A and B are shown apart, each in its own frame.
Chain A
Amino acid sequence: MKAETPPAPPVAPAPPRPAARPVERGPRNRHPLRWLVLLAAVVTAAVMLAPFLLLVLNAFKTGADYSTHGPLSWPTAFTPDAFSRYLSLVDFPRALGNSVLIAGAVAFLGAALSLVSAYAIGIGRVRCNGAILALLLLATMVPQEALVYPLFYGAERTGLLNSVWSVVIVFTVLQAAFGTYLLASVMTTLPKELLEAAVIDGASRWQILWRVVFPVLRPTLSVLVVFFFIWTWNEFYLPLILLNDPAAQTVPIALATLRGQHSIDITVLNAGSLLSLLPTLVFYLVFQRTLSRGVTAGAVK
């Protein structure tokens, strides 16, 4: 297994990995081999984490420290200089506000749109629901370069170029295409009795959606919200084209734009990268359990 992992970016100080505390389980696993397997899995984890560790290490160095001692040495002193330099070069609070607004709006609007559309397809079983799902599936697969130029012109014509709302509209629809596809298949598995009982009680369709279907699907919807947030936060191509103006840029685009300008200290970019990934990292750690459930939600039909 170890041999199949990509060659490790070598790290000078071997990163101290907290080895998981072994739990004794019956006699069959006392084999010494299991420590080797664990070692291999932990080494793989260290390889996966090494780039993150390098990022943190070099974000707290001074530029001079980095250029004399290189990327692998321990910082001579941990300084926040690089962070304050980054914050002076980029209007980070503004980019953060844009990103939170875009990713947050897309997450909730996208999930709501998915719910409403999937209701018509999965429970309403409107005619040609198969064809509609196929169209939505195509929307999730279409490469962005086949949309980008007309979207760019459309945004310009409607005055939405450099407005966060252009990106919100585009990604609400694109994420909802995926979300509808997923929710529709979940809805077909809802027990019929549940809906019939509501019909007998005289509930309207709108009431059934919000009082019966929505509460049942809440866990799935929260997974969608988390995913839509992270995916939209990380989006690159369309925000790059639709949001030229620094005032409208998202966190990742602001970082990439700064990188494009020359003679920016590597440590400054390290600090900027660290700041740019922190929000998704926090989100990920908080919702880690939900996430691993969610990646698979679409897998089993």
Chain B
Amino acid sequence: MSALVPDRRLPRTRRSRSGSYWLYLIPIAAGFAVVVAAPFVTNIVLSLYQWKGGMAPKHWYGFGNYLDLMHDADFWHAFKNSLFMIIAIVVVPTLIGVVLAAVLFDYIGKAFGNRAASFLRATYYLPQILPIAVAGFIWSTILDPRQGSINTYLRSIGITSGPDWLGDPQLALYSVMLMLIWLQIGYPVVVFMAALQRVDPELYEAAELDGAGWLRRFRAITVPQIRPEVFFVVLTATVGALKVFAPILILTGGGPENSTVVPSYYAYRNFFELSRVGYGAAIATFMSVVIFAIAALLIVWQRRTERQEG
């Protein structure tokens, strides 16, 4: 407190330290309360009612919506489709992305120069910056059964009755997955390539001197070295896969015969088309819990493997 001691570790600074820094958190605390916390809690409350929305009366339903949800075959079908979304958004792009990043970095970059590698990388990333409304439209024209690019091509090589990519309930989900893979590939490629830049080049040089081929280097250096980034991509992409909404709305509207409905779209339909607001809120709350739980599991699992190795 003494004004005579010009010491930066004054008790005064210590006390005001936590006090004044809190001021800087007021804007985001207010924003978080208004945009995330209050709506999220309201949504949970809504999930305990039966409500048609608007001026209609609310009927207390307790956990009824959740119990209904557990026995709703349509919901579980949508939930199962989320697994396909994980394949299309997490599994396939990550596997392809690791290989592409390693080829660009450890092969093309070295054989043809870094400019070639970054040009190719930019191309792979391009779909990532596309508004989903545009991506969905492009793919709906590509997959159109009559005028679509794929079937027009098939006709030109003599296959007159190409499949109805988005209209066949057996096929539509895979067609959607095709677009999602295309959309997603650039993300792991860019993250993994940046990760490889921080790997000590001597590792690669030493391995090459020892006569290790590209595949050996890929398995022994590339993959282990970028494991933190692989984890980061898997975590963020899994959360993204469980939240998929717009591609379904734009490409198929959940059809045909509900074959491509995902949970977020099912919630949307209950909110805004079926006027079952309480039920939609229950779906949304359930999915939030699932997402938080899966994210937590992934984080815990990663910490544990990290500790075992360290």
Contacts and interface: CB of A to CB of B under 8 A. Distances in A.
B251 to A, nearest CB: 11
A10 B104 CA distance: 24
Contact of A20 (B13, B116, B292): B116
A252 B133 contact: yes
Contact of A277 (B13, B22, B25, B134): B134
B182 A200 contact: no
Contact of A145 (B13, B182, B233, B287): B287
A164 interface: no
Given A51-B142, A176-B28, A205-B21, A295 B194 contact: yes
A157 to B, nearest CB: 12
A119 B108 CA distance: 41
B78 to A, nearest CB: 12
A286 to B, nearest CB: 12
Nearest to B54: A153
Contact of B32 (A1, A139, A150, A252): A139
A54 interface: yes
B281 A37 contact: no
B103 A37 contact: yes
Contact of B190 (A34, A176, A180, A295): A295
The dominant DSSP class at the B interface is helix
A145 B270 CA distance: 11
Given A4-B95, A143-B291, A170-B35, A200 B8 contact: yes
A12 B264 contact: no
Contacts of A200: 8
Contact of A143 (B20, B122, B243, B277): B243
Contacts of B142: 9, 51, 54, 71
A70 B147 contact: yes
Is the interface on chain A under 10, 10 to 19, 20 to 34, or 35 or more residues? 35 or more
Interface in B83-108: 95-96, 99-100, 103-104, 107-108
B164 interface: no
B28 A113 contact: yes
B190 A266 contact: no
Given A142-B288, A234-B131, A277-B131, A299 B264 contact: no
Contact of B246 (A5, A174, A209, A236): A236
Interface stretch (B37-45, B58-66, B68-76): B37-45
B134 A299 contact: no
B112 A233 contact: no
A1 B99 contact: yes
Given A9-B150, A172-B31, A292 B190 contact: yes
Contact of A23 (B100, B103, B107, B112): B112
Is the interface on chain B under 10, 10 to 19, 20 to 34, or 35 or more residues? 35 or more
B224 to A, nearest CB: 15
Interface string A1-32: 10011110111100000001111010011000
Given A9-B150, A147-B43, A22 B112 contact: yes
B15 interface: no
Nearest to B187: A295
B176 interface: no
B28 A180 contact: yes
B100 A41 contact: yes
A90 interface: no
Contact of B127 (A48, A135, A138, A170): A48
A293 B79 CA distance: 35
Interface in A138-166: 138-139, 141-151, 154
Max chain A Cβ within 10 angstroms of own Cβ: one of B135, B141, B233: B141
21 contacts: A1-B103, A37-B107, A38-B116, A48-B185, A51-B139, A51-B182, A70-B152, A71-B147, A117-B25, A119-B21, A120-B24, A145-B283, A149-B271, A173-B32, A177-B32, A180-B28, A234-B130, A236-B249, A255-B134, A259-B137, A270-B141
Given A180-B28, A299-B229, 4 more contacts: A142-B291, A143-B243, A147-B43, A255-B131
Interface of A: 1, 4-7, 9-12, 20-23, 25, 28-29, 34, 37-38, 40-42, 44-45, 47-49, 51-52, 54-55, 58, 66-67, 70-72, 113, 116-117, 119-121, 124-127, 132, 135-136, 138-139, 141-151, 154, 169-170, 172-174, 176-177, 180, 196, 199-200, 205, 209, 230, 233-234, 236-237, 241, 251-253, 255-256, 259, 266, 269-270, 273, 276-277, 280-281, 283-284, 288, 291-293, 295-296, 298-301
Among all A-B residue pairs, the 5 with the closest Cβ atoms:
A124-B21, A20-B116, A150-B39, A173-B31, A296-B194
